[in-house]
Structure 1
Amino acid sequence: MAVPKKKTSNTKRDQRKAHWKRKAALEAQKALSLGKSILTGRSNSFVYPQEEEESENEE
């Protein structure tokens, strides 16, 4: 027979939510930091394609 599960305590629920939000906040902070470093040109850990400048003298 099916047995109902025990109720999760409010403390446990709040702990899980706080942990999830903290992980999200840390990832957002990392993304912002990476974006700033890319804009300033100091990024060493992020590889992205750069547009090649085409000169008109090649034709």
Structure 2
Amino acid sequence: MAVPKKRTSKAKKNARKSVWKKKADKAAKKSLSLAKSVLQGKTTSFVYSLYIDELFSI
């Protein structure tokens, strides 16, 4: 016989949500930092070209 699942407590729900939000916040900070470094021309971690022609010159 099917039995309904127990309801998740607010504390557990909030804990899971905060983990997700921290993960998203970390990714947002990282992408913002990367964008700032690209705009300032201080990129060292990857190859970046401002011109599309240079990217697709095969």
| TM-score tier after normalising by the smaller chain length | 0.7 to 0.9
Aligned residue for 1:40?
A: 40
Compute the displacement of 1:50 (Å): 4.0
For structure 1, the residue ranges without an aligned partner over 5 or more in a row are 53-59
Gaps spanning 5+ residues in structure 2: where?
A: 54-58
Query: How many Å separate the matches in 1 of 2:12 and 2:40?
Result: 42
Calculate the TM-score normalised by the size of structure 2: 0.78
What is the alpha-carbon root mean square deviation over aligned residues? 1.4
String of CA shifts for 1:1-57, please: whole Å, max 9, x gaps.
1111011111000001111111111100000000000111111112233426xxxxx
Larger Rg: 1
- How many positions carry a matched residue from both structures? 52
Residue 42 of structure 1 aligns to a residue whose secondary structure is: coil
Counterpart Cα distance in 2 of 1:25 and 1:33? 12
TM-score normalised by the chain length of structure 1: 0.77
Percent identical residues:
54
